[in-house]
A and B are shown apart, each in its own frame.
Chain A
Amino acid sequence: MPDETQTITLTIDGQEIHVPPGTTILEAAEQNGITIPHVCYHEALTPPAVCRVCVVEVEGARVLQAACVAECAPDMVVHTHSERVETSRRTILEMLSSAVTLDEAPELQQLLEEYQADTSRFSGGKRREFELLDDNPFYVRDYSQCIMCWRCVEICADDGQYAFALNFGGRGFQSHIATFRDYPLPDTTCVFCGQCVNVCPTGALKPKIEWGLEQGLGPEEIRQLTRRGKKRKKGNGRE
């Protein structure tokens, strides 16, 4: 166990910073007014450290470090906006925008702008496209907008609800969020707690009412839609 009374001194972007042991670089930076962008990180969840947008350059380290999980160490010298860091961030954002629809992800839109990402650089390649899944009365799933941040899977499992209804399908670029054998949600262990919808940073998971209003439907029509058994489509199930 780290000695809580000790203080670690490190340098972030030329600024000397003092933090207790166990503090991540991201926390240390934020506490001192230094902004490190991040995408998958959510303060209530185990950081999966998959987006790698929060990477920073730590002097002496072979590769960049994910600030959300890398802990501060004595005399560490960190650069949060070096050219190497910015290149990786921009390239990740450009590749992401070439694969996924980010129209309803304001935080990502802002990052794309901030990093002057050339969203056409990697365009023309394969995109992750899925049909909208409308299989329950509470929310719809549009995985064409899913950035694979893992938040829904984590909160559905032991970071939150212990429902374990969600996991992954495929591998590599083809990875996607999936239920057991792609069953419609009502046929899974989903308890419709709605927490996955809350933590989703894009338009991939959306309350059905919000979705209905966007479709230009009136209250009565939405009410009809959300009645189980009516207009219910199967998932992309294999039955």
Chain B
Amino acid sequence: MDANSEVDLSQLDPVLDRYRDGGRTSLLPALHEAQRIYGYLPDPVLTAIGQALRVPLADIHGVVEFYTMFYDRLTGERIVRICTDPACALAGGEQVLEAACRHAGNIRPGETSPDGAVTVERATCIGLCDQAPAALVNEQAFAGLTPDDVEALLAGQGNAPEVRITGEPRVLSRRVGKISPTDLEAHRTGGAFEGLKHALTGMTPEEVIEEVKRSGLVGRGGAAFPTGLKWQFTRGAEGQPKYVVCNADESEPGTFKDRVLMEGDPFRVLEGMTICGYAIGSSKGYLFIRGEYPHAAAVLEEAVAAARQANLLGENILGTDFSFEIEIRRGAGAYICGEETALFEAIEGKRGYPRLKPPFPTTHGLFNRPTVINNVETLASVPDILTNGAEWFQQWGTEHSTGLKLFCVSGHVGQPSLVEAPFGITLRELIERYCGGFDGTPQAVLMGGAAGAFLTPDQFDTPLTFEDLRPLGASIGSGAIMVFNESVDLREVLRTLGHFFAHESCGKCYPCQLGTQRQMEILDRVAEGQAQAGDIERLTLIGQTMTDASICGLGQTAGMAVMSALRLWPDLFAPNGKGSA
């Protein structure tokens, strides 16, 4: 590339100096900063980074190729990423994308306009499903787009997203939208860091773990593992140092709760991490946030600085002998990094390939050390439990699904929004009471995101708990609830999901690497009314094999929605199938 010979490497020196001692774990941060300087990642820049961090060049190539937000060629001045995942597709995301491409000079998605001003890309879910369709222009998010908005959008203008949050009681989300996100004093007046104070000044680490265990809190990222137990295992594991990792790689299509929490009440997340650090005997936490959430990342950075200033992070927190630091790490476009071990790999500066389990993170996590990795909402639930006690938390929900939950409601309802409600509320109640009811006659709900399963209207009175959904072959998952009314051709929804998984499969194991591709191809022809004899069997075999034989949760759930649709509506997949619309 000719441009390479003209690269001025002196601009990179301060970056390299800062990261040199960190070695490979600094790879993603260094690539992000280099790209900010040069607009892309030219070969000499990569070579210099490899030498400074002592990372083989082939490995650097592997990393740059893995993460979609790293570019090896010059992009437009503005990168416009338009979401076309299910909620945005329902609201016209494809039309916005088409209009943007046309307006940029008849380019195709992924290309740069002839004048070099904009690159237009198809984005995977950017967590604004309640205000669809949405887009990111460089680091700024825009919502509620129509094709008429594209001229402004390409110039970096449009409607900023708003905070839409409802439900009752508002506990976890009570400060969101009411207090300036990074105003530490105002948040403290509102109760922030009370839980940490309780823990540090009145409880032993074992007592903290016991309280969290008694509360019945389980992971809110999708796997629903008991939080206190995870902490206990990690505390008891051999090996130092130990780490706290906050999984803020929220990428499940239809899910936006963690973004809202982080943008509106970042201190709650930091407080939860710090309490966890105290409980397990760790002095270092990492918060790994997806690259598509630049605003939340900036808010968190500011919150970390404010907390450090106020001695709520750093040495001898609140005058005790407990010290804890938090580092914010940004992802770069890879859904798989929401898988806990893939996330560790990303922090370690590698391709986000999930690891083989066992061993589990509680003994062999980040940097092969004992690690607690919890979802944002999970950690954010902890402070109030310590302030008010486990019994207080148990007043909501059921015996096996305790507490409150953030539900992300999108699609065909009156008011798509984030809803805080106790476990056990029914789907119908959630939507009728808080989301303005169904918009049109509901046909189905996709529960738990792309990796979830469909529910039909006769199942809408099921209480939303882990135990009630399990017999239906569904799960709460990340709390995503996507509603489709009768105007929707579900084959189109399935096609979108198929493309999503094919795009996001990391490619490590054969079942998922090959299965997501073949699944997508079949769903494409099904959506086009070109289903072939045997396609039902093919999809079933692919789904079974991915579920049974894949390494990680992505592959194991990549066929879930399709298999649930096969059970519910086999006619959709029949040759010459008429679809549902």
Q: Which A residues have a C-beta under 8 Å from some C-beta of B?
A: 48-53, 55, 63-64, 66, 69, 84, 87-88, 91-92, 95-96, 98-99, 121-122, 125-126, 148, 157, 164-175, 178-182, 188-189, 238-239
Contact = CB atoms under 8 A, between A and B. Distances in A.
A21 B515 CA distance: 35
Given A64-B548, A92-B545, A121-B538, A170 B60 contact: no
Nearest to A53: B510
B113 interface: no
A148 B517 CA distance: 15
B417 interface: no
Contact of B551 (A49, A179, A189): A49
Nearest to B58: A167
Contacts of B356: 49, 66, 69
A142 B518 CA distance: 23
Contact of B517 (A53, A167, A173): A173
B507 A172 contact: yes
B137 interface: no
B58 A172 contact: no
B514 interface: yes
Given A52-B550, A178-B61, A173 B1 contact: no
Contacts of A171: 65-66, 334, 505-507
B549 A63 contact: yes
Contacts of A165: 58
A148 B521 CA distance: 21
Contacts of B550: 52, 63
A167 B61 CA distance: 7
B579 to A, nearest CB: 22
Given A52-B510, A164-B58, A167-B62, A173 B516 contact: yes
Nearest to B355: A49
Most A Cβ at <10 Å: residue of B58, B66, B72, B556: B58
B523 to A, nearest CB: 12
Chain A binding surface, main DSSP class:
loop
B65 A188 contact: no
Contacts, number: 150
A168 B65 CA distance: 8
A48 B60 CA distance: 20
B502 interface: yes
Nearest to A188: B58
A125 B513 contact: no
17 contacts: A52-B511, A63-B556, A69-B356, A88-B544, A91-B541, A91-B545, A96-B514, A98-B514, A99-B517, A126-B517, A172-B506, A172-B512, A172-B513, A172-B516, A173-B514, A179-B61, A189-B57
Contacts of A175: 506-507, 513
Chain B contact residues: helix, strand, loop or mixed: helix
B517 A125 contact: yes
A63 B555 CA distance: 12
A162 to B, nearest CB: 9
Nearest to A93: B510
A106 B30 CA distance: 45
A189 B509 CA distance: 27
Contact of A166 (B1, B58, B512, B518): B58
Contacts of B66: 168, 171
A2 B202 CA distance: 40
Instruction: Identify which of A84, A122, A173 gathers the most chain B CB atoms within 10 Å of its CB.
Output: A173
B20 interface: no
Interface in B1-57: 1, 43, 46, 56-57
B508 interface: yes
Contacts of A66: 356, 551
Contact of B511 (A69, A88, A157): A88
B503 interface: yes
B502 A168 contact: no
A174 B66 CA distance: 11
B65 A170 contact: yes
B507 A148 contact: yes
Interface string B128-152: 0000000000000000000000000
A187 B475 CA distance: 51
A169 to B, nearest CB: 5
Given A172-B506, A175-B513, A238 B1 contact: yes
Given A63-B556, A168-B351, A181 B43 contact: yes
Given A87-B545, A164-B59, A167-B62, A52 B517 contact: no
B516 A88 contact: no
Nearest to A62: B556
Given A52-B550, A63-B549, A164-B58, A174 B541 contact: no
B58 A122 contact: no
A99 B516 CA distance: 12
B116 interface: no
Contacts of A148: 507, 510, 513
A16 B332 CA distance: 49
Contact of B505 (A126, A173, A188): A173
Nearest to B509: A50
A52 B509 contact: yes
B59 A63 contact: no
B65 A96 contact: no
Contacts of A181: 43, 46, 61, 72
A121 B516 CA distance: 15
Nearest to A180: B57
Contacts of A238: 1, 72
- Going nearest first, the 10 A-B pairs with the smallest beta carbon separation are A175-B507, A164-B56, A167-B62, A173-B517, A172-B505, A180-B57, A167-B58, A95-B514, A91-B545, A88-B549
Interface in B508-564: 508-518, 521, 534, 538, 541-542, 544-545, 547-551, 556
Contacts of A179: 58, 61
Contacts of B72: 181, 238
Nearest to A51: B510
